[in-house]
Amino acid sequence: AQSVTQLGSHVSVSEGALVLLRCNYSSSVPPYLFWYVQYPNQGLQLLLKYTTGATLVKGINGFEAEFKKSETSFHLTKPSAHMSDAAEYFCAVSPRYSGYALNFGKGTSLLVTP
Amino acid sequence: EAGVVQSPRYKIIEKKQPVAFWCNPISGHNTLYWYRQNLGQGPELLIRYENEEAVDDSQLPKDRFSAERLKGVDSTLKIQPAELGDSAVYLCASSPYDGEQFFGPGTRLTVL
C-alpha cells in the first residue's frame, strides 16, 4: 500500500519569502511522486513529478522538489512566494508513472500575505 | 488541445434524488478516472477505466453508484439515490498509455 502525509494543513508566508510544503510518503515499492496545485473552483494541475533519475525535480512556476529516499520525503519549495501562488497543494504517490490511481494527501492550503 | 470536459459544473439536488455526471476525456487518452474530493480532503479514486473496461472499481459504492464508459471515450457516473454524505466534488481525469493524468474542473454536488 502507498500513502502520503502532508504536514500542515495551512501554511502562511509573506510575499517574497521561501515556500516550503512538506510531504512524506510510505511505499513498499519504488514510488512515483507528484505535486499538484488546485486553484479555487478548478481542477488539479501538475506542478512536477519524480519518476526515476535525478532526485531534484524542477516544475512549473518556479517550484521544485527533492526526493529523499532516506527520509521518505518529497518536500515542495519555491525560493520567493508570489501572491498568485495562493492555492491548495496536493502531494500524491503512485506505484507507476501512468495508468494507476494517485493516492493523494489531504492537501496544504498556502496563503501568501503582502 | 482541449482539456478534460465535465458537466455540469454545479448540481444541487435533494436527498434520495438521482444525479448523473458526464466526462469527456482528452482525445486519445485510453485511461479514465473518476475521483471524489470531500471538503478539505484530497481526491480519492472511485473507478478507473482502461478503454471501456472498468479495471479498478473497488472503492465505488456499488449499492448506489454506477458508471459506464461507452466506446471507450465519454463516461457517465451516476448516483441513485443520493445521500447527504455524497456532497463533494467529483473529478474526472484521463491519461494516455504512458503519460500523466490530466484533470477536469470537476462537478460540485450539493445534496440537501
Size of interface A-B (CB pairs under 8 A): 60
| Residues written for chain B | 112
Q: What are the pLDDT digits (tens) for B45-65?
A: 999 999 999 999 999 999 999
State phi, psi for A44 to the nearest 5 degrees: -85, 140
Residue of A nearest to B92 (CA): A43
In chain A, which residues have their Cβ closer than 8 Å to the Cβ of B95?
Answer: 98-99
Q: Is the peptide bond before B8 cis (omega within 30 degrees of 0)?
A: yes
Terminal CA-CA length for chain A: 41
Judged against a pLDDT cut of 70, whether residue B1 lies above it is answered with no
Share of chain B above pLDDT 90, in %: 89
**A105 C-beta neighbours (distance < 10 Å), count:** 25
Distance (Å, whole) CA B12 – CA B2: 27
Percent of chain B with pLDDT over 70: 99
Model confidence band, residue B38 (pLDDT cutoffs 50, 70, 90): very high
d(CA A91, CA A108): 9
Residues of A near B (CB-CB distance < 8 A)? 9, 34, 36, 41-46, 49, 90, 92, 97-102, 104-107
Q: What is the pLDDT of residue A54?
A: 86
Asked whether the beta carbons of residue B95 and residue A92 sit closer than 8 angstroms, the reply is no
Mean pLDDT for B35-44 is 94
Q: What is the grid cell recorded at B26?
A: 482528452
pLDDT of residue A71: 93
Measured between CB atoms, which of A43, A100, A101 is closest to B103? A43
Residue B53: CB partners within 8 Å, gap ≥ 6? none
Task: Compute φ and ψ for B9, nearest 5 degrees.
Answer: -80, -30
> What is chain A's pLDDT, residue by residue, as a tens digit (114 residues)?
789 999 999 999 999 999 999 999 998 888 899 999 999 888 899 999 998 888 899 999 999 999 999 999 999 999 999 999 999 999 999 987 777 889 999 999 999 999
Cell 481525469, residue? B93
